[in-house]
Amino acid sequence: MNASIAWKPPRSAMSNNFSSLLDKLVEKHRISDLDPAGFQAFMDEPGNAVALLTDEPDTTPESWDLAVIFPELLVSTGVKLRAAVLRPESARVLQTRFGLGRLPALLFVRDGGYVGAIEGIRDWSEFITECSTMLQKPVSRTPSIGIAVSVVSSSSCH
């Protein structure tokens, strides 16, 4: 008998309402609601852009906090930024692709390239400073998570 059925705790009211909060961001602030495939097209468009990558607030309550302040951060930059939100399932795919250590995160891109990321929540003044820095940074190589590679030789030495 296989006892590998995984138990998942019930979702809290905060997590159940989180999807509604993200829906409001999309509707009220005209923020794009993307999946990983849609993110590539978003990234490839010209100009500065930022994506909010979220996690389940049951496990990462900061996701709720960052989603609430995200529209204000967009206004505070003083620059017209294209903006997107990625829900937890989609965000985890991009977390791996962009080598992010944790969610939530703000992922900055420009003209099809990676600029940088701000992981987690910050004091307001730190967010403003870091967002301004991201808008000045050049496009760079995407960081990645190191994966061990084994090299297998076809010849043997005896």
Identify the DSSP state of 61. Answer: T
Residue 15 has pLDDT above 90, yes or no: no
Q: What is the mean pLDDT of residues 131-139?
A: 94
pLDDT, tens digit, for every residue of 27-81?
Answer: 999 999 999 999 999 999 999 999 999 999 988 999 999 999 999 999 998 888 9
Return the pLDDT at 148. 44
Return the pLDDT at 17. 86
Q: Is the pTM of this model over 0.85?
A: no
Angle at 121 between CA 117 and CA 123, to 5 degrees: 110
Return the pLDDT at 149. 47
Residue 121 has pLDDT above 80, yes or no: yes
| Mean pLDDT estimate for the chain | 86
Residue 146 has pLDDT above 90, yes or no: no
Mean pLDDT check: name the lowest of 1-10, 86-95, 143-152: 143-152
pLDDT, tens digit, for every residue of 99-114?
Answer: 999 999 999 999 999 9
Angle at 69 between CA 64 and CA 70, to 5 degrees: 95
Domain positions in the chain are 13-136
Return the pLDDT at 8. 61
Q: Pick 12 or 17 by higher pLDDT.
A: 17
Give the tokens for residue 60.
Answer: 């990462």
Beta bridge partners of 117: 107
| SS3 state at 9 | coil
Domain 13-136 is found in CATH 3.40.30.10? yes
